[in-house]
Structure 1
Amino acid sequence: MSITKTASARWQGGLKNGKGTISTESGVLKEVPYGFKQRFEGQAGSNPEELIGAAHASCFSMALSLILGEADMEAESIDTKATVTLEQDDDGFSIPAIHLETRVRMPGADQTAFEEAAEKAKAGCPVSKLLNAKITLDATLDN
């Protein structure tokens, strides 16, 4: 089985004075603004790091639900926060770490079984795997 989803970004101008918009195939995001000020100065809009965080938190939560179900457990709720760290060094910017914090409501669950399921979900969710993915690129220059 193979599923594809798309998202797009449009950028106009230079880094600091430019502006962009982000859209998704589903329409959940439609021309949402992003830019230098949104990314580095807290202006309203989005940025790549929060989008990666949202993708990772949601993917992890679904993976954890699956793994718990395989162990005959079902959570009442799974609330996950992903904290994405963006750092700058001599080589430029990088994302060296993502911290997942999850709170699961599941009365009567075994702590050890839960911890094992959470670790399995962290390692196995598709977005976690993406961090080691093969990245391909098609680049077209329109003159």
Structure 2
Amino acid sequence: MIRKGKAHWTGTGRDGTGDLTTQSGVLDHSPYGFKTRFEDAPGTNPEELIAAAHAGCFTMALAFQLQRAGFTPTSLDTEAAVSLDSVDGGFKISKSALTLTASVPGLDKAKFDELAKEAELNCPVSKLLNAEITLTATLV
């Protein structure tokens, strides 16, 4: 399976602008640039997209872990907070902090923690990231 995304850019790094388009069309010439990345201008940025991808990947991996263990979640809500840090004159995505709140009938905390950790370690986006990954998981 191959998924594609495209970027278009004009101008310099600081003053230029670009847009992102995905194969599915979910992003269709979505604006991005210096101001969407380092300030709060409308549009998206690579770190936000990585955060959404990591949250989505982890949550789906956990849903499969739960299914294999015989549990059906009522809800799984995950936020990923991706850190972009200045390192050696450049930038590095240094961390992705996952925060999960889950409602899973009949599941005890120990099994929940085990399955959540397994999903954190084995979702494809976690495996891709060369960054520290943390998980705070709450079973309600």
Cα RMSD over matched residues?
0.9
Where does 1:1-143 land on structure 2 (aligned, <5 Å)? Answer: 3-131=1-129
Residues 35-75 of structure 1 deviation map (CA, whole Å, 9 limit, x = unaligned): 00000111000000000000000000000000011111110
Distance 1:11 1:89 in 2: 24
Following superposition, which runs of at least 4 residues in structure 1 exceed 3 angstroms of deviation?
Answer: none
- Aligned partner letter, 1:47: N
Number of aligned residue pairs: give it: 130
Question: Any stretches of 5+ residues in structure 1 without a counterpart?
Answer: 133-143
Determine the structure 2 residue equivalent to 1:140.
none
Residues 87-118 of structure 1 deviation map (CA, whole Å, 9 limit, x = unaligned): 11333100110000011111331110000000
Determine the structure 1 residue equivalent to 2:135.
none
Contact 2:80 2:99 in 1 (8 A): yes
Identity of aligned residues (%): 48
Q: Which has the larger radius of gyration?
A: 1
Hey, which of these two has a bigger chunk of strand by percent?
A: 2
Higher relative contact order (CA 8 A, sep 6+): 2
